[in-house]
Amino acid sequence: MINIVLFGPPGSGKGTQAQNLIEKFNLKQISTGDLFRYNMKNGTALGILAKSYIDKGELVPDQVTTDMLIEEVKKPTNTNGFIFDGYPRTANQTDALETIVKDILNDEISVCLSLIVSDEILVERLLKRGETSGRTDDSNEEIIRTRIKEYYTKTAEVAELYKQQGKYVEVNGVGGIEEIAAKLFAEVEKISL
């Protein structure tokens, strides 16, 4: 199996590039953002709790996120692996993901692909997305900058853990969608051959 952690700050293109990777390698995407939105839209207890953090530009606590993720990984799938989009974001989540993949899938994380984009481009992208998405966390520049800052603060340790395992690869997330996708495909092909 191919199990990819797709990494990058809010607005770096994780969702778009996850779709390209899904089509190319027959993978199932597990996006914590999608899990949050599904649970919030349906008014679940986990969704209400997650929304209270997201609306302030904060990351959702590990256990809430992990519980949502476990339920999704357990669902049957006929794919060649998974893309974890937006998870892990902390060292604790990294450990939890390793355990989930090992215990439930009897496998391991193949690679962490990190999309690199400057803060100013991220803010611009998110404000533009906020014009049409209806997402409250994409319409306020101060909240966006808080999200970006918090992302870097909390995820630096995750990047370091994957670097220590030799599984961390940075990819320039600025440019044409197809150009970025080609770079990601090349990295996945290195580990799947």
Q: Which residues are catalytic?
A: 14, 89, 129, 135, 147
Which residue from 119, 131, 107, 116 is spatially nearest to 175, judged by alpha carbons? 116
